[in-house]
A and B are shown apart, each in its own frame.
Chain A
Amino acid sequence: MSNRENGQKSVLVIGGGIAGIQASLDLANMGFKVYLVEKLPSIGGRMAQLDKTFPTNDCAMCILAPKMIEASTHNNIELLTYCEVEKVSGEAGKFEVKVKKKSSFVDWDKCTGCGLCIEGCPVILPNEFDQGIGKRKAIYMLFPQAVPKKCVIDKREDRPCKAACMDACPVHTNVPGYIKLVAEGEFKEAYKLIRETTPLPACVGRVCYAPCQDVCNRGEIDEPLCIRDIKRVPSDQWSIEELEVPPITKTDKKVAVIGSGPAGLAAANDLALKGHSVTIFEALPEPGGMLRVGIPEYRLPKEILRQEIGYIQKLGVEVKTGIRVGKDITLEKLKKDYDAVFIAIGTHGGMKLGVEGEDIPGVMEGIGFLRAVNLGEKIDVGNRVAVIGGGNTAIDCARTAKRLGAKEVTIVYRRSRAEMPASAEEVTAAEEEDIKIEFLTIPSRFSSENKKLAKMECVRMKLGEPDASGRPRPIPIEGSEFIISVDTVITALGQTPEADFVKQSGVSLSKKGTIEIDAKTGVTSVEGVFAGGDVVTGPAFVIDAIAAGKKAARSMDQYLNGQPLEPEEEWKEPEKLSQKEIEDLKKRFPSRNRVGMRREPAKKRIQDFREVALGYSLEEALEEASRCLAGQTEGCIECHECERRCEPKAIVYTKKDESIELKVGAIIVASGLGLYDISALPEYGYGKIKNVISAMEFERLTAASGPTMGELRRPSDGKIPENIAFIQCVGSRDFRHKAYCSSVCCMHSTKEAMLAFEHHPGTRSFIFYMDMRAVGKRFQEYIARAKQEYNVTYIRSRPGRIEVNPDNDNPIIWYEETSSGEVKKFEVELVVLAQAMIPQITRELAEILEIELDEDGFVRTADRFLQPLDTTKPGIFTCGYVHSPRDIPDSVTQASGAAGRVAEEIASSRLNRDSQGGN
């Protein structure tokens, strides 16, 4: 860049297609410094979009790529891709040019083009390079062979919400990301994205307490998004069993995980992905911890859990059930046999009420009750059941009892509804199921009749001053005793860890019996032993346990690699929107209430343990997902997934457009061709009839790097077309559109017909033409070969209209037989329209350059014979399609010619008046 100063021997080339590349190379080889400006992120131009080139049928990319690479590695060429010329001043020999470098939001000095970011991006957009047939992501590379091989973020506006959901989530799940993917119908990708932070998406999508929803800024407009419900959609719409195992590079490290609940599974999952060998020790006969034995089937079907654990096993995790560490095997032994140990045994111990008669058969402890039911034990609860407690476990017990056949189920809670720790949703569900709640009530005594539990004596309470927990202390009201008749009482008063066995190895416990850890890294008082989940925090939520498991796994991986333990970066607090922002949002997005998930009616659902939440239909899912504000953003939704994946740290969301100032002696305009919008010819049905496509679309369909990987299939049903019609002069040689001949279509249609045959020998092609303009070297022979060897028939006629056969979506072409004058119709399976091509230069750019365009928009030349490559402005030259319609060899020739003109003008000092010498 140092020689940017020396302007006279520098040349600006506008347009990075084959003409611009060739002009740059020739100039560079003559010793000129070249700035090659291209508005797209990669050079290559139209030629890069082509499958093959006539008349040699050379693969376009195979002959273009070496030229692109030569241009990018040439010492005299500076590529300015993703740039546009903004201002030109001065005159021949001393132009001053201002170029805008559009922000790619990626630091190209760091980007290595590895493509990791693209995989994670949830935003799916039509791929312009594939003429919109294929899809690309918001972060993308123009095409696989892009030069420079750099990524670009298609970021058009800032995200309207602040994605507080991600900040609120304990594992910082990429909520905008997966919701966007669900909205796109990309269920597998959505599942994979959730799985990056949560190894149990389908489970969490059912039982999470969803702190994300509380902060969702959609709530400021109407209602928060049903984030949790959307999370289960991917696994409802697609089978987890189809998820393939990624390649994993194994290490020689072994890890023991004690407990197969959410914390243990999360840690095992992450460690296995890092290549470590993980064995889980589970005391119970089935893996899953509280997910398996604490949460009833009607909230979380066991099959779902089994599938998600099954995938973790597929990653190489070994699960040993029925082994209780501390009893069947010692912690010491595990420490010796494994390189690291993770303790995640949860809190499976129940708590006692401490009142008379608690040991009478018929009085059961809640966690044990749920465990028994979940493990398939037959339990007779009788007709009248009382559940003591106000947490989610109490609700689970009550609803389970109802499903076991109890007629009357009563929850007895010592405070009022407002203080109930159970989620409001669960309480409502219980009440729907005809479960009674006795608030401000506490049992004082149980008594039996005939050795069977019969009565529960209760006391009414009143609320007093707040206690240590901050809630008002319940105070018994004297003389308020009353009796409830019961067959079964279930106490759900809280859970305790059963972790005493760890003390032998020196792991310290708190007074409450929980394991003490370093909060940032999860390491216990003993090196190599980590802990997390409920056994550390006491009973908490599933997602908290998962977060703890992941945190520990991260530290353990560092520990196993001999690295210092470094805690993860802190996340910011969920951010609220300002009043102004809320007002703006309300203007922009009309109110749309949430689509709630359908549930089994209470009468029906209490009959058995089938899942209550019925899931979304596809339409409902897409509808609800499309309410996400982040997803309303055009292009990038700023979910930062790319940023998290980018190893060289190249993503810079805040990157701004830059301005580059250049001094050059001459300019070459080689901005190439555009495609005429052929939907302006309604008679051919483009855009309406599915199996009518444009020639450039056909190129992308046959290109090996195209959206179908080179499979030529028609749009309506993916059928391989057996016969294809090519219609010439669509918009060309037509006064209503473009009066001129586009010059290359006769040949490219012939080529495409040949390619169709090469893809599927036997394919018949029919080319409807006016004149077959095959004027270049070997062109006539090419056409002869098409007829003789490739089943191509040429029909001299200009079709009048195209209709569609509704039975099979086949286009029907109406045309006049030139020789007989007879109007005929002709049905084919695919129609390819040879669209007119137009010069690709805006009037604005022409004005900036002070060059003239002709009435069709082509660059006007100074003199047809004497200065065929000079524009009307001295010092500015032109070549390629923007000069006049022409094929690749003619464009390349003109490009070299324009370079020759520049050399001549600069050397002969005509462009270089003010300097000495010049050459």
Chain B
Amino acid sequence: MDEPRIGVFVCHCGINIAAYVNVPELVEYAKGLPNVVHAERNLFTCSEEGISAIKRGIKEYNLNRVLVASCTPRTHEPLFRAACEDAGLNKYLFEFVNIRDQCSWVHMREPERATEKAKDLVRMGVAKARLLEPLEEIEVKVAPSALVIGGGVVGMEAALNLARQGFDIHLVEKEPELGGTLRSVYKLFPTNQEATKLIKLFVEQIEKHPKIKTYLSSKVKEVTGFIGNFDVNLDGKGGASKFNVGTIVVATGADKLKPVGQYGYGKMSNVITQLELEERMKKGEPLGQNVVMVNCVGARIPERTYCSRICCMTAIKNASLIKESNPEARVWILHRDLMTYGVDFEKYQRRAMEMGVRFIRYSLESPPEVVGDGKVERIKVYHELWGKDIELPCDMLVLTTPLIAGEDNQDISKMLKVSLDEFGFFLEAHLKLRPVEFAMDGIYICGSARWPTDVAEGISQAFAAASKAAGPLRLGYVKPEAINAWIDEDKCSGCGICELLCPFQAIELQPRDDRRVSHVSEVVCKGCGTCSAACPSGAIIMHHFTNEQILAQIEALFS
């Protein structure tokens, strides 16, 4: 690299900076700093005028480093970098110094000291700019295909969506047929249409779509690689398969809790779960005249604190269906909070009440009790409004149980290097704003594998996950972060601390000659710097934030 020739552009930001920091003085000061060959001030460096000033400066003074002292890189770094690029300068030879948010704004009442601080910040910036090096952005090709794990309606919808966009889809289902949990469901709330009919609609489309290859009775055995280029090994009834995909969608659903030992379940013959009730209803088996349902069995208790979202509606649906087929039947739902959120569920619940389904609230402190010998005869429950215990006749006791995390989640999580939450469900990248993504690039999540979800929500999630998975496939490439970590293998002791700490699973110990050294996947690395900070051997160089650069800034501060 040639001798650094730094240009410094100080922004007035109207009065935001200039009213508190003496900008002309700062410019004069900057001119005297080592390797600074040009310094000027702009009323607004981000304006068209300011941007052309940068470009002009690069040409006129043959600048090979540009420093802007202004607002915040959060909003303005892309703009100034682009200006450098336009003028033929690698954009990583640009350095940003924030003299507004962290200087003029916080020192409004002490303009002289603000000016001094701005000088310190610019001096530090210049010290770093002298050591900046150009970085190159690479493009990594993305295979135009995806893997969808799970063949329920959610997985099927994700597969269909991606296939319709023209990508090759591998749909893997561990069971011998598609349909997932819905296969054991009778009807769907709140429309009361038959679940099997919906499954059929999906399966037909899957089967006839030329871009979808379905693997039944199969499990994913191994996944290696990273976004754009995952190698997948399958184990299945039909033998092993191997293929390469660009992205992965996880739609493995959830399991059902068997409430063994509760309310006589497993011991008394007339105690069943909602799903078992649905099986009976499908077959048209008699249920008896008096049906009592107890909600939150195994949910919202100290051992399993969460609410599984769909069970209240499941109970209300089944209660309504019983009343529909036998208006004489008496159905009680013993519930805690009733989770009929939104427009349609609230309406559906009201309809059930109008049909004669009785709702009685119980609390965790005084749960219903089973009365009977070998068989439930009555249910005793404390009636809050009446302020006393009442007994309900019971021919059939139906327990509403939560969905629980799938039994394969642990294995899948290890294989894909994605996390699980404290309940064993898959953990999304961000609870609020990245609900269908994993922290790991290229892998997406939808349906009850992430959190209990009803069919409509699950399908919406399938579209969402497919949309995320389609992004890289459509572009055909990914552009990893150029500011990334680099391992000096000679220095690496192979201790593995970095591998352990990397939040993006970008680091792996790999054999080198007779030892093992860290290897950073430049595609996966996000440049967070955690590894570099932790490396006891100083073997990890964090580009754009090298030790030398940071030490030069610190030295400049105290010089």
Contact = CB atoms under 8 A, between A and B. Distances in A.
Interface in A89-127: 110, 112, 114-116
A-B pairs with lowest CB-CB distance, top 9: A900-B467, A114-B14, A897-B463, A896-B464, A900-B463, A897-B464, A740-B343, A907-B165, A771-B337
Interface in B318-362: 337-347, 350
B346 A896 contact: no
Contact of A247 (B47, B111, B341): B111
A330 interface: no
A149 B76 CA distance: 12
A856 B161 CA distance: 31
B14 A899 contact: no
Contacts of B435: 889-890, 892-893
B44 A58 contact: no
A55 B422 CA distance: 15
Interface size class of B (residues with CB under 8 A): 35 or more
Nearest to B463: A897
A26 B464 CA distance: 9
A900 B385 contact: no
A781 interface: yes
B460 A894 contact: yes
A819 to B, nearest CB: 6
Given A865-B188, A900-B466, A884 B343 contact: yes
A780 interface: yes
Contacts of A888: 432-433
Interface string A711-744: 0000000000000000000000100000111010
B456 A868 contact: yes
A66 B459 CA distance: 28
17 contacts: A18-B433, A73-B78, A112-B44, A116-B15, A647-B14, A741-B340, A778-B431, A779-B307, A864-B456, A865-B198, A885-B342, A889-B432, A889-B433, A892-B432, A893-B457, A893-B461, A900-B464
B488 interface: no
Contacts of B300: 780
B544 interface: no
B268 interface: no
Contact of A26 (B15, B188, B347, B467): B467
Interface stretch (B85-93, B223-231, B468-476, B497-505): B468-476
A776 interface: yes
B164 A904 contact: yes
A352 B199 CA distance: 114
A246 B431 contact: no
A768 B385 CA distance: 17
A480 interface: no
A607 B450 CA distance: 89
B243 interface: no
Nearest to A855: B343
B136 interface: no
A741 B341 contact: yes
B165 to A, nearest CB: 4
B46 interface: yes
B421 A777 contact: yes
Interface centre among A53, A885, A907, by most chain B C-beta atoms within 10 angstroms, is A907
A881 B425 CA distance: 26
Given A69-B74, A116-B15, A896-B468, A903 B474 contact: yes
A743 B309 CA distance: 12
A741 B14 contact: no
A896 B14 contact: no
A840 to B, nearest CB: 15
Given A865-B198, A893-B461, A901-B463, 4 more contacts: A55-B431, A63-B430, A112-B46, A249-B23
Given A67-B433, A864-B456, A865-B198, A896 B463 contact: yes
Nearest to A889: B435
Given A741-B345, A773-B337, A116 B14 contact: yes
B321 to A, nearest CB: 17
Contact of B464 (A66, A893, A919): A893
Contacts of B392: none
B20 interface: yes
A821 B385 contact: yes
A740 B342 contact: yes
Contacts of A741: 340-343, 345-346
Contacts of A778: 306, 421, 431
Given A773-B339, A854-B343, A819 B436 contact: no
A779 B307 CA distance: 8
A896 B436 contact: yes
Nearest to B21: A249
A759 B343 CA distance: 34
B261 interface: no
Interface in B291-333: 300, 305-307, 309
A821 B385 CA distance: 7
Contacts of A771: 337-340
A776 B463 contact: no
B191 interface: yes
Contacts of B111: 247, 249
**Looking at A733, A864, A888, A893, which has the most chain B CB atoms within 10 Å of its CB?**
A893
